[in-house]
Chains A and B, each alone.
Chain A
């Protein structure tokens, strides 16, 4: 009885050593994350809710939400981010669909490469190229004036339009990549089946394609909206006086280093508002999915819908990660 079989004994020792090893593996990353992810986010909350004197108050939030100019700026920022997100998905989805369905397998890596190059190019270089493109006397404007559409020195630089076009330009690669994954995930035989069963094009889209894609549309919406809502370089460089966003104000105040708590409070309001909009959009998409797919939630087995929910959230996590 005293002699435990050798492999078992070794295994228990190995497991004990494994626990120490796991702690060793987790420590560096854990310390970094606690100090430089958890702490900064908590710091934002603390600073946002304190006065310059250091006591707790809602003064910063009251000041922001009580100033019509800031509320209007917040509204405009959310509106711009919403329009940019919807536009980029609307422009990227058909391209992604063509890439997933109607492109030869050999050409796919090449085309995806062409999408990835602007995707991983520095945002500032893209802005720079865009400015060189649309400035007065640049390629686009000289082309337009050669046709006689605009005056030779006219340009859309320093207008809200330029800002929005730039943000859409930056968001399209994300939209193509995410919606490409979504389009690839739809089994072609499902589309085939609905067609052979007599469904028209519009019916196939609303009842099959949309419900199957809406989860990824939600992921795409979240990714692009959150990125766009915090934009400040684009409006600063391209937007002109009437194309500013809340990010400009926040970054200017942070850089100046005065009234930091107010800038932080604005960031928190912006973060909260954008999370609320992303949540609402995701909820709306989920509702449209169940409403259009013709399967009511009640009739679906509970376990299955739970599993689907879990899979969805896992997918969202991975996609968010891999797609910046």
Chain B
């Protein structure tokens, strides 16, 4: 047990890091239950800010806009991304290379710079500051995540299942629907969840592309935080964070390990 000092220090380091990561989130949860209008102490318990939130139409409308946008963009990103992955799995390198290059560019160019590009192109196409532009930009920026997850799964897929189905007389459509789709379904769901989270949070894109007079939640909070914090935003944040916790727990329960989604490299699974 002479060597046990370093592990202990590192474990304490890990716990301290977890606490630091949790602090802003816990702070909002505590302040949402605190009486003070300006988020100051001493702490007096109240649920008033949740009641205030229920009447804050601007904030709730922004939340609705964000949920709506994320849902629409996710549906399209999942369909297009899955088709693209299936197509790329059967294509030659001269086709997959440029597609992969573009996907990688979408991931590595800072969102602000990408947003500048979108603004220019949408104004060329006559889509400037329209909901369609916002949805298109959201689809494109979440597409790489769907493709990477589904492609990873397709690469690991055992071809023998499809071959067995073929040799037993199933047609291409039947093989696809009864063999391929069920086998890649978990990755489609995972990609969809990731796409949803990413479009919901994609602040830079939304700030520059949202139509005038329409705010998504991040844009709305951005304009509010500059005027100072208010506890009803804390209340909303607490609800969102609790939903995130539920999401992670459900993912854990579904896949055994939610973290795999976020840490997987292409080794094995």
Q: Which residues of A contact B (CB under 8 A)?
A: 14, 17-18, 21-26, 28-30, 32-41, 43-44, 47, 91-92, 94-95, 97-99, 101-103, 108-109, 111-133, 135, 137-139, 142, 169, 172-173, 176-178, 180-181, 185, 201, 222, 226-227, 229-230, 232-233, 236-237, 247, 250-251, 254-255, 260, 263-264, 267-268, 270-271, 274, 314-315, 317-324
Contact = CB atoms under 8 A, between A and B. Distances in A.
Given A98-B10, A124-B218, A125-B237, A22 B225 contact: no
B164 interface: no
B84 A30 contact: yes
A28 to B, nearest CB: 5
B189 interface: no
B120 A120 contact: no
Interface in B113-140: 113-121, 124, 136-137, 139-140
Contacts of B233: 128
B198 to A, nearest CB: 7
A177 B265 contact: no
Contacts of A323: 262-263
B84 A26 contact: yes
Given A126-B24, A169-B21, A36 B112 contact: no
Determine the interface band of chain B, counting residues with CB < 8 A from chain A: 35 or more
The 3 closest A-B pairs by CB, nearest first: A230-B110, A40-B117, A129-B24
B14 A114 contact: no
A322 B262 contact: yes
Given A125-B241, A169-B21, A255 B110 contact: no
A21 B90 CA distance: 10
Contacts of A39: 117, 121
Contact of A114 (B22, B118, B147, B197): B22
Contacts of B119: 254
A142 B40 contact: yes
B201 A123 contact: yes
B134 to A, nearest CB: 12
Given A33-B102, A125-B237, A95 B17 contact: yes
A270 B266 contact: no
Contacts of B244: 117, 120-121
Contacts of A321: 103-104, 107, 144-145, 147-149
A34 B84 CA distance: 13
A264 B83 contact: no
A132 B27 contact: yes
Nearest to B206: A124
Nearest to A91: B17
Given A33-B140, A320-B108, A124 B221 contact: yes
B263 A177 contact: yes
A113 B248 contact: yes
Interface string B80-120: 11011011101100010001101111111111111111111
Nearest to A136: B40
Nearest to B32: A132
Contacts of A314: 266
A317 B229 contact: no
A13 B133 CA distance: 41
Interface centre among B27, B139, B229 (most CB of A within 10 A): B27
A31 to B, nearest CB: 9
Contacts of B104: 317, 320-321
A92 B18 CA distance: 10
Given A111-B18, A317-B100, A321-B148, A97 B10 contact: yes
A230 B208 CA distance: 14
B172 interface: yes
Nearest to B125: A35
